[in-house]
Every structure is written in structure tokens, then in C-alpha cells.
């Protein structure tokens, strides 16, 4: 029997990268999966991959910055699969790479709305459903190594990822006695479309990889494995925590010539 047999997993930002890999892995482990995101074609492509594993999955078009969309996303999950056991709140954007004095209010608001408000809205409606069910559940929020440190030119992104860690701890405290666990995963740079946008040029890629003592970026599956583990009974005593997956990034400067 697979670890997730009979469980229902919701993955936001499941249209590509870490979200897509996690949605497919949940399905391989036996979960029925709801893929949420703004891009319909990409979301349906993720569902096709789930069906290719023999799993069950649906796509729900969702803008996590909109309360109506998030509420409907959770309601659709329950309507189709009967409940909600796991959630990976992964949807996020990097925003524009500019200094604080150059950043526009619109860009700041958009980054905050999706990364931070979106995570709060997902927690709000996911926890409402889990509490109503009266059974155990697990939620993982996607933060970042940028939740621990600052980074030049991405102040809004860093602010949101610091905020996600605060939300994670607070939510964990609120529902710990109800048997619901809330944790965060904190990756460094992962091989995703976001990384391609930020570090697509060879010199930029080489520079960024050099910041990781392992000398490479992470892989989406490496994050997906951690997320599924944190949702599983193997992590049953873990809540309010932040699991860093960073190739040594936060340990200190990479060795010379990395």
C-alpha cells in the first residue's frame, strides 16, 4: 500500500517546476491530486502527466491572490474527491529584479498579493476545511532561503518569503492540537522556469551556481520528495518547522573556485 493511498492532495502553482513535480509525485504515491494555477494549458498538461502514472487528478484554474478563487478551489477539491488531506502552497512569483528605490508600487503589490496574501488565503480556506473534517492533515508552504536572508534587488520577494515563515509558525500553533501540521520548505535555486528567467545567461548561471557549495542548482524532484515526506506519517511529530534544501547555500560562502 502506498503512503498516500486514499488521500487527497492540493498543489497550487502546479503548472510547472516544483509544483508540477510534486503533484505528479503525490499521484505516484497514491494520492488523488488537485492541480491549481492560473495557466490552463500548463495545468492540464500536469494532469495528463498524473493520468500517465495511473493516478487521479483534476485542474482548477485559480489565482491565489483572489479570495473567491481560493475558496472555490477548496470547494471543488471537496466536491470531486470528498475532502482534503494534504496541501502544498507553492504558487509564487519572483517579481522584478530592481532596487527598492526603483521598484514600482504595482510590482510590490503584485508580489505581496501572490506570494504572501496568496499563502494566507490558501491557509485560511484549507484549514477551515481540515478543521471541519475533524481528521489529521498536513500543509507545506513554499518559502525560500530568501526567507532567512536578504538579497540585492529582490526586496519584495525576500519580504514575502520571510512572511511565509511567520505564517507557517503561527498557523502551526493554531491547529497543533487538532492534529493538523503546518511546515515550510525553503529551497535555494532550483532548475525551474523561474531560475531560467533569473539566471538564463551563461555568466549569470555560472555565478549563481557558484553560490551553492555543491556547485549546482537543485532539482524539482528533490523538493517534491521533501514535501511529500513532510506530509507523510514519517514526519508526524514535525510542525512549525522550515526545512532548508539549498546545496549548502546558507552554511556560508562557497569554497574558492566553486
Cell (9 digits) for 20: 508540477
| Annotated catalytic residue within 86, 125, 152, 157 | 157
Of the candidates 148, 93, 96, the residue with the CA atom closest to the CA atom of residue 115 = 93
Cell (9 digits) for 152: 540585492
| H helices present in the chain, as ranges | 17-28, 40-52, 67-81, 105-112, 118-133, 155-175, 193-199, 202-210, 220-231
The DSSP code sequence of 112-140 is HIIIIIHHHHHHHHHHHHHHHHTS-EEEE
Is 157 one of the catalytic residues? yes
Are 13 and 90 a contacting pair, CB within 8 Å? Answer: yes
How far is residue 102 CA from its own chain's centroid?
Answer: 28
Other CB atoms within 10 A of residue 233 CB: 8
Cell (9 digits) for 98: 530592481
Residue 15: exposed, middle, or buried by beta-carbon count in 10 A (0-12, 13-18, 19+)?
buried
Are 83 and 8 a contacting pair, CB within 8 Å? Answer: yes
Q: Give the residue numbers annotated as catalytic, written as ranges.
A: 157
Amino acid at each position: 500500500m502506498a503512503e498516500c493511498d486514499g488521500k487527497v492532495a492540493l498543489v497550487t502553482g502546479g503548472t510547472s517546476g516544483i509544483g508540477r513535480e510534486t503533484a505528479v509525485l503525490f499521484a505516484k504515491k497514491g494520492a488523488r491530486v488537485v492541480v491549481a494555477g492560473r495557466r490552463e494549458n500548463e495545468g492540464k498538461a500536469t494532469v495528463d502527466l498524473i493520468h500517465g502514472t495511473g493516478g487521479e487528478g483534476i485542474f482548477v484554474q485559480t489565482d491565489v491572490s483572489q479570495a473567491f478563487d481560493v475558496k472555490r478551489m477548496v470547494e471543488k477539491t471537496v466536491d470531486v474527491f470528498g475532502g482534503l488531506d494534504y496541501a502544498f502552497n507553492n504558487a509564487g512569483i519572483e517579481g522584478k529584479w530592481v532596487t527598492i528605490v526603483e521598484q514600482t508600487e504595482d510590482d510590490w503589490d503584485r508580489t505581496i498579493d501572490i506570494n504572501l496574501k496568496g499563502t494566507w488565503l490558501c491557509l485560511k480556506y484549507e484549514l477551515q476545511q481540515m478543521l471541519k473534517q475533524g481528521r489529521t492533515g498536513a500543509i507545506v508552504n513554499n518559502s525560500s532561503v530568501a526567507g532567512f536572508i536578504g538579497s540585492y534587488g529582490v526586496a519584495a520577494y525576500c519580504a514575502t518569503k520571510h512572511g511565509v515563515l511567520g505564517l507557517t509558525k503561527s498557523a502551526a500553533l493554531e491547529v497543533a492540537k487538532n492534529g493538523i501540521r503546518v511546515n515550510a520548505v525553503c529551497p535555494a535555486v532550483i532548475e525551474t522556469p523561474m531560475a531560467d528567467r533569473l539566471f538564463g545567461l551563461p555568466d549569470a548561471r555560472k555565478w549563481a551556481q557558484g553560490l551553492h557549495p555543491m556547485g549546482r542548482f537543485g532539482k524539482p524532484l528533490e523538493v517534491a520528495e521533501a514535501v511529500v515526506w513532510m506530509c507523510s506519517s514519517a514526519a508526524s511529530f514535525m510542525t512549525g518547522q522550515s526545512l532548508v534544501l539549498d546545496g549548502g547555500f546558507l552554511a556560508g560562502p562557497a569554497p574558492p573556485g566553486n
